[in-house]
Amino acid sequence: MKVITTIEEMQTIMNKLELQDKSIGFVPTMGFLHEGHLTLLNKARKDNDIIVLSIFVNPLQFGPKEDYAEYPRDFERDRALAESERVDFLFHPSVGEMYPNEPSVKVTVQDRTDVLCGKSRPGHFDGVATVITKLFNIIRPTRAYFGKKDAQQVAVLEGLVSDFNIPVELIPVDIVRENDGLAKSSRNVNLLPKERQEAPILYRSLQAAEAAIKQGERNPANLIGIISNMITNESTGTIDYVQIYTYPQLKPLEKLEGTIIIALAVKFTKVRLIDNYITNIDR
Amino acid sequence: MKVITTIEEMQTIMNKLELQDKSIGFVPTMGFLHEGHLTLLNKARKDNDIIVLSIFVNPLQFGPKEDYAEYPRDFERDRALAESERVDFLFHPSVGEMYPNEPSVKVTVQDRTDVLCGKSRPGHFDGVATVITKLFNIIRPTRAYFGKKDAQQVAVLEGLVSDFNIPVELIPVDIVRENDGLAKSSRNVNLLPKERQEAPILYRSLQAAEAAIKQGERNPANLIGIISNMITNESTGTIDYVQIYTYPQLKPLEKLEGTIIIALAVKFTKVRLIDNYITNIDR
């Protein structure tokens, strides 16, 4: 595995591989790798000749009051994990390399952002779309892998790729969970021990909603009630949102039908967790 | 020459050429080709294996009160000209092909736009940067050619390419002029006959400024005075702006030194013309 820190070297390497008609699987991350990321790498390895992992904690996608400084980082651990996952190239640029000066352009997301996490994180998806645009131009991957845990991110990036005609295939990959159901996340380490014990209620509430849908519930408000009650009663976290939308358009709906997402975010002392359930309901 | 109207076909073709390691020269235009465009095509032909010309009047870069509907179009004439210039691929998509739905993302330009044409055309450079981002993703050129007449556009696109790490080389090409000095432009056909006779004063005023600089003038205000007086006295046009900035940063300056641009825009009855002079002044 080769660790690359400059854009120029990365582009030179990718250029050569492109001429050899190699398929490139790309997994962009902010590091502190967990099993969710490893699942993405495994999938990328199966589908492609070469895999590129990027580790870059992107300041542009953090709001001024968000956890950029506290975001967990452990490059040596990540490097060892990437090596053992047979990553070919690990792209690990500095902030100064990615943003040498105040950017003169950025990508702004016009749709799918005034709901869910976008609502409480103004500019977050602009930052995501901008860094992904840069990374796609640097890596020029054949396929790029994203976890469905950030379902809104996947929806936004599908819009980005389609509207900017970026020649890459986006591959959304299922959420990977701990044994107790908690969705894997680099931020989970910031849960207090008691909160860590409570946190699986997020997934259990989604499972309860799933069961209710199977029993015929089609009213979004009722499902939101079930979920909110469970989380409020069984955790010390504060609900940021529990919402149900069409997917990937993220438009409100009065009655469950078609492809829908039930998404939630809960704030704990030092960390805010998200989870979701996407399903298709016969019309 | 092959005329391509769909993004998919264009991407398929460019993919194949890329694998053959062909260098691709790209000239994006809004059509109604004139000698300025032909100069770009000639330069592209000299530098590259393959040349791609795009003709697309981009609605996104016209304001609601601007001349999108009146912008001159003559595809059959353009096609014949392109053929005679040995263009390999002429990309001519419809508006529906380029913007099948309300875009969910766009490029916004944060710098270099609050001056010159950007000031009176809010959103114009966002539209330019967005369509060029799309076209670069569709064509993936080695080099792209732009006329220096749109000097602010060149400055903005240099920011775009550099900040988004787009692997393309931008080649700015000198302004091509009519015999009487008027900068070639598709919009010149919209001048009234009397205005057409007056219009060379734009260039003559820039030449007067150049002469003054050679005689030692270093005060921007004095040069702006010379130019404004000439245009006001010798034409019926209304001055939109006469400005002097550093180039390509487009920052104001109190004393001429370094690389500077003198840029002007003048409104006539049905059309607004621009011209400029870029020079380097020893510090």
Q: What is the pLDDT of residues B146-177, one digit of tens each?
A: 999 999 999 999 999 999 999 999 999 999 99
Region A102-115: mean pLDDT is 90
Write the CB contacts of A34 (distance below 8 Å, at least 6 apart in sequence).
A176, A184, A185, A186, A188
For residue B55, give its domain range. Answer: 2-173
Evaluate whether residue A139 is within a structural domain. Answer: yes
CB A52 within 8 A of CB A24: yes
Q: What is the pLDDT of residues A218-263, one digit of tens each?
A: 999 999 999 999 999 999 999 999 999 999 889 999 999 999 999 9
ipTM: 0.88
- By Cβ distance, the residue of A104, A134, A165 closest to B165 is A134
**How many domains would you assign to chain B?**
2
Examine the residue annotation and report whether A34 is marked as an active-site residue of this protein: no
Residue B91: name the closest of B5, B206, B203, B26 by CA. B5
Gap between the Cα atoms of B124 and B117, Å rounded: 9
Q: What pLDDT score does B111 carry?
A: 86
Report strand pairing: B258-267 vs B238-246. Answer: antiparallel
Evaluate whether residue A264 is within a structural domain. Answer: yes
Evaluate whether residue B282 is within a structural domain. Answer: no
Q: What pLDDT score does B112 carry?
A: 85
Domain containing B200 — which CATH number? 3.30.1300.10
Of B173, B194, B210, which residue constitutes the final position of a domain? B173
Same-domain check for residues B192 and B164: no
What distances in angstroms separate CA B117 from CA A197, B107, B273, one per listed residue?
Answer: 59, 18, 11
Residue type for position B126? D
Same-domain check for residues A169 and A232: no
State what percent of residues in chain A have pLDDT above 90.
88
Evaluate whether residue B179 is within a structural domain. Answer: no
Same-domain check for residues B78 and B217: no
Show residues of chain B in contact with A166, CB under 8 Å.
Answer: 137
Residues of B with CB under 8 A from a CB of A: 7, 11, 15, 18-19, 21, 102-112, 129, 133-134, 137-138, 140, 156, 159-160, 162-167
Evaluate whether residue B283 is within a structural domain. Answer: no
Same-domain check for residues B223 and B145: no
Gap between the Cα atoms of B221 and B256, Å rounded: 10
Same-domain check for residues B87 and B193: no
Judge whether residue B66 has pLDDT over 90: no
**Tokens for B232?**
């006001």
Residue type for position B1? M
Same-domain check for residues B45 and B107: yes
Greatest extent of chain A over all pairs of C-alpha atoms, in Å = 58
Region B18-43: mean pLDDT is 95
Gap between the Cα atoms of A108 and A19, Å rounded: 32
Same-domain check for residues A166 and A200: no
Element (H, E) at A40: helix A35-47
Same-domain check for residues A111 and A163: yes
- By Cβ distance, the residue of B7, B18, B104 closest to A159 is B104
Q: What pLDDT score does B65 carry?
A: 84
Q: What is the pLDDT of residues B186-228, one digit of tens each?
A: 889 999 999 999 999 999 999 999 999 999 999 999 999 999 9
Q: How far is A260 from chain B (nearest CA, A)?
A: 19
How much is the mean pLDDT over chain B? 95
Evaluate whether residue B198 is within a structural domain. Answer: yes
Burial of A102 (0-12, 13-18, 19+ CB in 10 A): exposed
Same-domain check for residues A116 and A208: no
Judge: A165–B134 Cβ closer than 8 Å, yes or no: yes
State what percent of residues in chain B have pLDDT above 90.
88
The radius of gyration computed from the CA coordinates of chain B, to the nearest angstrom, equals: 19
Of B139, B173, B207, which residue constitutes the final position of a domain? B173
Write the CB contacts of A52 (distance below 8 Å, at least 6 apart in sequence).
A14, A24, A25, A26, A27, A87, A88, A89, A90, A91, A139, A141
E-only strand ranges, chain B = 2-4, 24-29, 50-55, 89-91, 105-109, 143-147, 169-173, 238-246, 258-267, 272-281
Gap between the Cα atoms of A173 and A36, Å rounded: 9
Same-domain check for residues B168 and B221: no
Give the model's confidence band at A278: pLDDT under 50 very low, under 70 low, under 90 confident, else very high: very high
Same-domain check for residues B250 and B209: yes
The residue with tokens 């989970």 is: A188
Domain containing A31 — which CATH number? 3.40.50.620
Q: What is the pLDDT of residues A51-96, one digit of tens each?
A: 999 999 999 999 988 889 888 899 999 999 999 999 999 999 999 9
CB A69 within 8 A of CB A87: no
Catalytic residues of B: 37
Q: What is the pLDDT of residues A80-91, one digit of tens each?
A: 999 999 999 999
CB B203 within 8 A of CB B149: no
Judge whether residue A117 has pLDDT over 90: no
Evaluate whether residue B204 is within a structural domain. Answer: yes
Evaluate whether residue B149 is within a structural domain. Answer: yes
Of A141, A173, A205, which residue constitutes the final position of a domain? A173
Q: Which of B8, B124, B165, B251 to mutate to test the interface with A (most CBs of A within 10 A)?
A: B165
CB A57 within 8 A of CB A68: yes
Region B74-100: mean pLDDT is 97
Report strand pairing: B50-55 vs B24-29. Answer: parallel
Q: How far is A180 from chain B (nearest CA, A)?
A: 37
Same-domain check for residues B17 and B109: yes
